[in-house]
Amino acid sequence: MKEKILLGGYTKRVSKGVYSVLLDSKKAELSALTEVAAVQNPTYITLDQKGHLYTCAADGNGGGIATFDFDGQNTTHLGNVTSTGAPLCYVAVDEARQLVYGANYHLGEVRVYKIQADGSLRLTDTVKHNGSGPRPEQASSHVHYSDLTPDGRLVTCDLGTDEVTVYDVIGEGKLNIVTIYRAEKGMGARHISFHPNGKIAYLVGELNSTIEVLSYNEEKGRFARLQTISTLPEDYHGANGVAAIRISSDGKFLYASNRGHDSLAIYKVSPLGTKLEAIGWTKTEGHIPRDFNFNKTEDYIIVAHQESDNLTLFLRDKNTGSLTLEQKDFYAPEITCVLPL
């Protein structure tokens, strides 16, 4: 069986935009790198249920989102919604409300777009975050994530202020703050992933290489800390920046990528999701593993390396969470986002 995987990334060196690869799950092999869409700096990408591809993008007007009609093979460009400033770094679809959310790291903004009848977008709201943190990288707000909670609110992670903000989404795409969770100072809140039970979340800190396990109160839209655990082995003291975090759909194993240690940290998740236990680190066979993802069946994990321009394929043991290297030298340039179809 062959599965298609979409890839987004920077276009600073040789990449032209969005690519696809094929995963042969029987042979445990990646093949057929193919250009899907020419777009500037599609560092994060997502699809809606109607086959519209939304990517972070830049053009002559600035940064924002590009929209494509995607039939599984080819794309048709439907337009960009951009404004002065750098591109977004995260984009997510809200199917129920027909909205798209974007996080702007450089400007410290959350943006909301309404999906039009043809799949194109119209900007409906922009919320500016303010504040800073104790580290040099935290001179101002840096919104790095904006996506839905299990109960349909919007949650954002701010690397610059160490805050996780929960919003109600009102009407045609307006945001109203519900709560603000303040993580450990200097952790650099980057991404958050929810347990399948919807009551527990895992917040990854890019700057201090930790994961905070949080309870989530749906009634109040409020987070509370239960545990903090390192993403690094005790004997590693070099530079590191955590990137992606993913949990298996059965809620049994959590993974996080370390850029510097160049590894995936593997955790066993307690039955209720309230505690993580580190069970190992697997070297990713490349430099700067910016993103990784499961394939559709979660039998494999595909790791993308931003600087060494290669994908690594691991076979995943669903009973133990452990990873076995299958392929490490598949060329894919400047990749920062892995999206299985």
pLDDT score at 35: 98
| Residue 203 is assigned to a structural domain of this protein | yes
Domain carrying residue 117 = 56-66+76-230
Average pLDDT, the chain: 97
pLDDT over 90 at 85, yes or no? no
- Rounded to whole angstroms, the Cα distance separating 35 from 161 reads 37
**What average pLDDT does range 97-120 have in this prediction?**
96
pLDDT over 90 at 1, yes or no? no
Q: Which of 83, 80, 150 is nearest to 120 (CA)?
A: 80
| Residue 302 is assigned to a structural domain of this protein | no
pLDDT score at 319: 98
Beta bridge partners of 276: 269
Both tokens assigned to 123 = 């900007």
Beta bridge partners of 174: 170
Handedness of CA 336, 227, 223, 272 (dihedral sign): positive
pLDDT over 90 at 87, yes or no? no
Q: What share of the chain is helix, strand, coil (3-state, %, to 5)?
A: 0, 60, 40
Instruction: Name the helix (H) or strand (E) containing 9.
Output: strand 2-9
| Residue 127 is assigned to a structural domain of this protein | yes
Give me the half-sphere count of Cα atoms (radius 13 Å) on the Cβ side of residue 334: 17
| Residue 197 is assigned to a structural domain of this protein | yes
| Residue 295 is assigned to a structural domain of this protein | no
Q: Please write the tens of the pLDDT for every residue from 188-218.
A: 999 999 999 999 999 999 999 999 999 999 9
Total domains present in the chain: 1
pLDDT score at 186: 98
| Residue 124 is assigned to a structural domain of this protein | yes
CATH number of 193's domain: 2.130.10.10
Both tokens assigned to 184 = 């450990």
What share of the chain has pLDDT > 70, as a percent?
Answer: 100
pLDDT score at 84: 85
Handedness of CA 71, 74, 75, 76 (dihedral sign): negative
| Residue 281 is assigned to a structural domain of this protein | no
Q: Which of 253, 290, 299 is nearest to 9 (CA)?
A: 290
Amino acid at 200: I
Q: Please write the tens of the pLDDT for every residue from 253-304.
A: 999 999 999 999 999 999 999 999 999 999 999 999 999 999 999 999 999 9
Q: Which of 181, 130, 184, 187 is nearest to 156 (CA)?
A: 181
What share of the chain has pLDDT > 90, as a percent?
Answer: 97
| Residue 279 is assigned to a structural domain of this protein | no
Q: Is 67 left (phi over 0), alpha (psi -120 to 50) or beta?
A: beta
